[in-house]
Amino acid sequence: MILGGASRKGTTMADDKRTATLTIDGQQYELPIHSPTAGPDVIDIRGLYGRADVFTYDPSYTSTAACDSTITFIDGDKGELLHRGYPIDQLASKSHYLEVCYLLLYGELPTAAQLDDFEHRVTHHTMLHEQMQYFFRGFRRDAHPMAIMVGVVGAMAAFYHDSTDIHDSWQREVASIRLIAKMPTIAAWAYKYSVGQPFVYPRNDLTYAENFLHMCFAVPAEEYKVNPILARAMDRIFTLHADHEQNASTSTVRLASSSGANPFACIAAGIACLWGPAHGGANQACLEMLREIGTPDRIPEFLARAKDKDDPFRLMGFGHRVYKNFDPRAKVMKESADEVLDLLGVEDKPVLKVAKELEAAALADDYFVDRKLFPNVDFYSGIILEAMGFPTSMFTPLFAVSRTVGWVSQWKEQLADPQLRIGRPRQLYLGETSRDYVDIENR
Ligand code: SDX
């Protein structure tokens, strides 16, 4: 069953009549303005270079809409995150990860029959080709699991060649399901390999989150019972990280896809980008920072370092390119942290105590308040994941497992866009103008 993407709302671009006037050296250029269903209007500059022989300049694309999309919307000022219009706090409390995957992929919440079919399809694609185990065994035991995920996901193109043709809608659908279904197995096996334990195969009688916990923590020597509260917390963490507009890794996937690269290569590129500490690597970096702070009395020292322009240290888990209010995911994550630690009977761990006092101190500090730097999704996630038994090296792989559905949904949406062309940013060139080669004896 193949379902198309959601219907586009907002103005159809052809109907837009408003324009912006740009004057360059006395010459005026009218640029169309397009209005979204939510968020800022956009000025359409697609024809500007051809008409005015000028580029626009926006390093890091902080003011540039690279595409139109119907999947996710963020209001950074309000701290609002919508997936196909549904607020993330409602999805986190009322839905579950695979239902959110369906919503992101197909645009609407599923009926019971649609959800059963989707869950059946994902569940029956969780196994990896048996030969792929050799990829894991080729890595050093101390390899970072993100290095393994980048390599193994890219190698999927060699094993699932029957779902690499991006022009075939059925192959796109199969590749989407395979990536969502197999990512937990790849992440779990990367963890098992790092701790020298045997790989645990997926089980079809478990839910997505239960299956992942079972593949990570079960051992052949004894039965492993999944704790339902930990499974719920795991599912909620997956839901909170599922998609987030055109963030760095999603933009990487879109740019890779614009060249016609196969889906496995595109998602491997997204995983590589997510690894960075300014992006998905922040949850690992945040817990390591909390450990380095160690006790609340050292918080002022680290706040001073975070404010010192000569010190590269940044408060991990704080700030966001878009949110200039609380990251709504951080609020849900904070509630989960308390719930999981209560369940595990973990008294107020030093790291949680430092986190809560650091958050309070930063939110009372003019530097952070003036710059609208609030806790983001990564501030509390590491505390929960560590309490659940994951090493910090597994935090970003978990983010990659969850974000796979976002990358895949955005990848599918872009391939369905009739405007799709290969991405090719330009530049403001400040280098040498043309000059003749100088023989070495004359230099
Ligand atoms: C994710 O894009 C997404 O959607 C990403 C993500 C997703 O779901 O895909 O939400 C996931 O990546 C969350 C962010 C995780 N990263 C971190 O927690 C790392 C720490 N955060 C910073 O590196 C930073 O806040 C960024 C990278 C997240 C944002 O960087 P920006 O856009 O450069 O921040 P900004 O423009 O808002 O900064 C304004 C000022 C600057 O100082 P001034 O030049 O004005 O004096 O605030 C400073 C920044 O130097 N600043 C910080 C800070 N973040 C920004 N100062 C200290 N500590 C910080 N964390």
**pLDDT for the residue numbered 156:** 97
**pLDDT for the residue numbered 15:** 72
Closest CA to 316 of 290, 353, 349, 354: 290
Q: CATH number of the domain at 410, please.
A: 1.10.580.10
* C-beta of residue 383 within 8 angstroms of C-beta of residue 355: yes
Query: Residue 247 corresponds to which amino acid?
Result: N
Token match 């008294």: residue? 347
202-227: buried (b, 16+ CB within 10 Å) or exposed (e) per residue?
beeebbbbbbbbbbbbbeeeeeeebb
Task: Give tens-digit pLDDT for 372-431.
Answer: 999 988 898 988 898 899 999 999 999 999 999 999 999 999 999 988 899 999 999 999
The stretches of 7-144 forming alpha helices (DSSP H) are: 48-52, 88-94, 97-106, 112-123, 133-137
Cα angle: 281, vertex 76, 94; to 5 degrees: 80
φ/ψ of 23, rounded to 5, equals -110, 125
Taking CA atoms only, the protein residue closest to ligand 1 atom 13 is 279
**pLDDT for the residue numbered 27:** 96
Same domain, 409 and 303: no
Alpha carbon distances (Å) from 196 to 137, 222, 351: 10, 17, 28
Residue 362, in any domain of the structure = yes
Highest mean predicted confidence (pLDDT) among 226-230, 419-423, 433-437:
433-437
* C-beta of residue 271 within 8 angstroms of C-beta of residue 249: yes
Three-state SS string over 354-369 comes to HHHHHHHHHHCCHHHH
State how far the Cα of 290 lies from the Cα of 315, in Å rounded to an integer. 10
Establish whether 378 is a catalytic residue: yes
Q: How far is the CA of 60 from the centre of ligand 1 (A)?
A: 13
* Closest-lying ligand 1 atom to the alpha carbon of residue 377: 13
Residue 310, in any domain of the structure = yes
For ligand 1, say whether the CB of 372 is within 6 Å of any of its atoms.
no
* Closest-lying ligand 1 atom to the alpha carbon of residue 376: 13
Strands (E), 94-240: none
Mutate which of 314, 325, 326 to test ligand 1's pocket (most atoms within 8 Å of Cβ)?
Answer: 314
* DSSP output for 198-233: PP----TTS-HHHHHHHHHH-BTTB--PPPHHHHHH
Residue 7 has pLDDT above 60, yes or no: no
**pLDDT for the residue numbered 1:** 35
Same domain, 247 and 144: yes
Same domain, 270 and 123: yes
Q: How far is the CA of 413 from the centre of ligand 1 (A)?
A: 28
Same domain, 263 and 137: yes
Same domain, 256 and 171: yes
Strands 27-34 and 42-43: antiparallel
Same domain, 233 and 136: yes
Residue 168, in any domain of the structure = yes
Taking CA atoms only, the protein residue closest to ligand 1 atom 2 is 247
Task: Give tens-digit pLDDT for 81-118.
Answer: 999 999 999 999 999 999 999 999 999 999 999 999 99
Same domain, 228 and 338: no
Mutate which of 373, 401, 403, 404 to test ligand 1's pocket (most atoms within 8 Å of Cβ)?
Answer: 373
Establish whether 320 is a catalytic residue: yes
* C-beta of residue 385 within 8 angstroms of C-beta of residue 233: no
Residue 310 has pLDDT above 70, yes or no: yes
Residue 261, in any domain of the structure = yes
Same domain, 236 and 380: no
| Active-site residue, selected from the candidate residues 235, 243, 327, 378 | 378
* Closest-lying ligand 1 atom to the alpha carbon of residue 318: 60
For the segment 322-337, the average pLDDT, to the nearest whole number, is: 89
**pLDDT for the residue numbered 9:** 64
Q: How far is the CA of 44 from the centre of ligand 1 (A)?
A: 28
Closest CA to 243 of 17, 383, 86, 35: 86
Residue 382, in any domain of the structure = yes
User: What's the chain's average pLDDT?
Assistant: 93
Highest mean predicted confidence (pLDDT) among 16-20, 289-293, 382-386, 406-410:
406-410
Q: How far is the CA of 353 from the centre of ligand 1 (A)?
A: 23
Closest CA to 192 of 167, 213, 217: 217
| Active-site residue, selected from the candidate residues 214, 241, 320, 327 | 320
Closest CA to 177 of 191, 201, 155, 160: 160
Same domain, 190 and 290: no
Residue 432, in any domain of the structure = no
- DSSP 8-state class, residue 348: S
Same domain, 222 and 329: no
Residue 12, in any domain of the structure = no
* Closest-lying ligand 1 atom to the alpha carbon of residue 74: 4
Same domain, 335 and 383: yes
Residue 277 has pLDDT above 50, yes or no: yes
State how far the Cα of 240 lies from the Cα of 405, in Å rounded to an integer. 12
For ligand 1, say whether the CB of 358 is within 6 Å of any of its atoms.
no
For ligand 1, say whether the CB of 299 is within 6 Å of any of its atoms.
no
For the segment 345-370, the average pLDDT, to the nearest whole number, is: 87
State how far the Cα of 137 lies from the Cα of 160, in Å rounded to an integer. 20
Residue 4 has pLDDT above 60, yes or no: no
The range of the structural domain enclosing residue 127 comes to 80-275+403-416
Q: How many domains does the chain have?
A: 2
Q: How far is the CA of 317 from the centre of ligand 1 (A)?
A: 9
Task: Give tens-digit pLDDT for 139-161.
Answer: 999 999 999 999 999 999 999 99
State how far the Cα of 438 lies from the Cα of 442, in Å rounded to an integer. 6
Q: CATH number of the domain at 340, please.
A: 1.10.230.10
pLDDT band of residue 3 (cuts 50, 70, 90) is very low
Alpha carbon distances (Å) from 216 to 86, 144, 155, 219, 360: 31, 16, 22, 9, 34
φ/ψ of 386, rounded to 5, equals -65, -40
Same domain, 259 and 178: yes
Residue 379, in any domain of the structure = yes
